Amino acid sequence: MNLLLAPLQGLTDVTFRNVWQHYFSGIDAFYAPYIALQNDGSIKKTPWRDILPEHNEHLPIPQILPADVAEALELSRRIKELGVYSEININLGCPYPMVTNKGRGSALLPHPDKVGELLQALNLEFSDVFQFSVKLRCGLTDFDEIEALIPVLNAHKLKNVILHPRIAKQLYKGEADQEHFAIAYKSMKHPLIYNGDINTLEDYHRLIQRFPGIDGVMLGRGLLQNPLLPEEIVRELVFTPDERLKRLQPFVDELIEQNRQQLSGESHLLSKMKSYIPYFAAFNANGKKAIKKMKKCKGIRGFEEGLSELWVL
């Protein structure tokens, strides 16, 4: 069973991936957060830097976020110029309005014809360069949208399909709907990967018992809440709270230090590290005071002081 790291914008970036690999194991493939074209045809520096070979100790799978065929082709051509990648993932699942209002991500799900045109064009131009995979949700506003998409996906060459069984308007609220994942499980011809709400070893066991034929599981928020989760899955064990904290402390210390070296100034560093607080909160059930201090701090020193209290059971 393949275990994959989800491309979470602003969180599972190249710094996180490199540091995680120093301290933990169990992930078979890493997906980089998406790249897209800006109005002037450029790509933002941060997501582009994220996939540059010289910054990655182990190459991720780059992800593109196109609105149409032209943008998908242009993004793929630029990745081709790097000369090191053999797979590109197509984001058809981003649920945020700032993305969908521009016709990207989940906005394409109600339009199977557009999805088919995009896949056909990519495979036609890059069949000897890239394998393409797709990451998507069940729909933009309606779960039934996945049923119209499956025949289109089946009709085109794909390495795999990664399905998060929510619709875009849910964002990450409610539970992932495994009943609708089951529809794809029964009729998808491509290798199918599950993504969504796998937070514990028990969650993983329940999933593979229900869907024993899936090709893999993508971990996102579950890994951020417990960076040891892939090891627990691979080794079939659950670390004790004390064991977890002893492994997590050097990892987080290194994550801060590497971001300190990459980012411009203390305020940038503090903002970056505060984005992880909702996930750090799961490290220690007794760490509410520490988390509160980290949220309220005005400087990185205060953040680190609060963090030091998180490591005490």
Q: What is the mean pLDDT of residues 218-239?
A: 98
Cβ neighbours around 50 below 10 Å, total = 23
Confidence (pLDDT) at 119: 98
Distances (CA, A) of 159 to 35, 132, 207, 225: 20, 6, 22, 29
| Structure confidence by residue, pLDDT tens digits, 129-161 | 999 999 999 999 999 999 999 999 999 999 999
CA of residue 265 relative to chain centroid, distance: 27
Q: For the CA atoms of 162, 88, 172, 26, what is the dihedral angle to 10 degrees?
A: 70
Confidence of residue 18 (pLDDT cuts 50, 70, 90): very high
Average pLDDT over residues 21-37: 98
Other beta carbons less than 10 A from residue 216's beta carbon? 18
Mean pLDDT, all residues of the chain: 97
pLDDT in tens, 240-259: 999 999 999 999 999 999 99
Q: Is 64's pLDDT higher than 90?
A: yes
Question: What pLDDT shows up at residue 1?
Answer: 86
3-state secondary structure of 89: strand
pTM of the predicted structure, to 2 decimals: 0.96
pLDDT in tens, 162-186: 999 999 999 999 889 999 999 999 9
Amino acid, res. 23: Y
Please give the Cα distance from 30 to 27 (Å, whole number): 7
- The whole-number pLDDT of residue 174 equals 87
- pLDDT score recorded for residue 209: 98
